[in-house]
Amino acid sequence: MPLLDVQGLVAGYAGARIVTGLDLAIEPGEVVALLGRNGAGKSTAVAAITGTLPAMAGSIAIGGADVTKAAPSRRFQLGMRTVRQDQPILRDLTVAENLRLVGASKEDAAEGFPFLAERSSQRAGTLSGGEQKMLAVARAAANPGLLWILDEPSEGLQPKNVDRCAQLIREAAARGVGVLLVEQHIGMALNVADRWLVMETGAVIDHGEVSATTHETVSRRLAV
């Protein structure tokens, strides 16, 4: 049974359909990269999968449990962990409080990114954009659940931190966590993913195994 099973997902804003029929499944320990140009519908798909945007049609299941109409907090209980693209952390809370919300400590987070332990009492909104992303990834890693939905986790990170982020994703997958990775950074995505999907105008138009695909093939597909 897939950890995440999305079938015929339709979602959008103010009646406009941005995602027009998305199908995807993620097995335990599998990393799936969702790629596509700006406006392809990736973030809308993520919002619907995480529950912050109601699905207009289709179904979403986590570990076999239908969560299509469930609140995001219910999806969290079932093991979903989210790193969203914009404002991925609670800016008015301290670093430690951001972690405490998911039952994690600064020591847990420091295993991901050590600087977080030293700055645990700092208000999270005063971290740089990249540091905020690291906090969000560390938050997921500290209480990993079963399924990660990561929307541009490497955005704003320095190369060494992109590598660390990729390492955390691989370690989670090695422990059986399924990962949906939305990325503009194709190199990083293909470095950690088992499969790739390319979205265009709200639906998947191509997919493949990373082991059977070159970086150039995917780049060309994205450029179409």
| In the complex, least distance from residue 178 CB atom to other proteins, rounded to whole angstroms | 17
Query: Cβ closer to other proteins: 94 or 191?
Result: 94
Between residues 57 and 78, which has the closer beta carbon with respect to other proteins? 78
State in angstroms the smallest separation of the CB of 118 from other proteins. 21
Q: If 0-12 CB within 10 Å is exposed, 13-18 middle and 19+ buried, where does residue 117 land?
A: middle
What is the C-alpha separation between 88 and 190, in angstroms, rounded? 23
CB-wise, 97 or 111, nearer to other proteins?
97
Q: Which helix (H) or strand (E) holds 170?
A: helix 159-174
Residue 216 Cβ vs other proteins, minimum distance, rounded to whole Å: 35
Query: In this structure, is the dihedral angle defined by the CA atoms of residues 65, 67, 69 and 70, taken in order, positive or negative?
Result: positive
> Please, are residues 70 and 77 in contact by the beta-carbon 8 Å criterion?
no
Query: Judged by CB, which is closer to other proteins: 88, or 153?
Result: 88
Nearest approach, Cβ of 50 to other proteins (angstroms)? 5
Residue 63 to residues 60, 97, 169: CA-CA distances in angstroms? 10, 29, 20
* Whole-number Å distance between alpha carbons of 86 and 151: 9
Residues near other proteins, by CB under 8 A: 50-52, 71-73, 75-77, 80, 82, 84, 87-93, 97, 100-102, 123, 139
Nearer to other proteins, 139 or 185 (CB): 139
Q: Least distance to other proteins from the beta carbon of 174, Å? A: 24
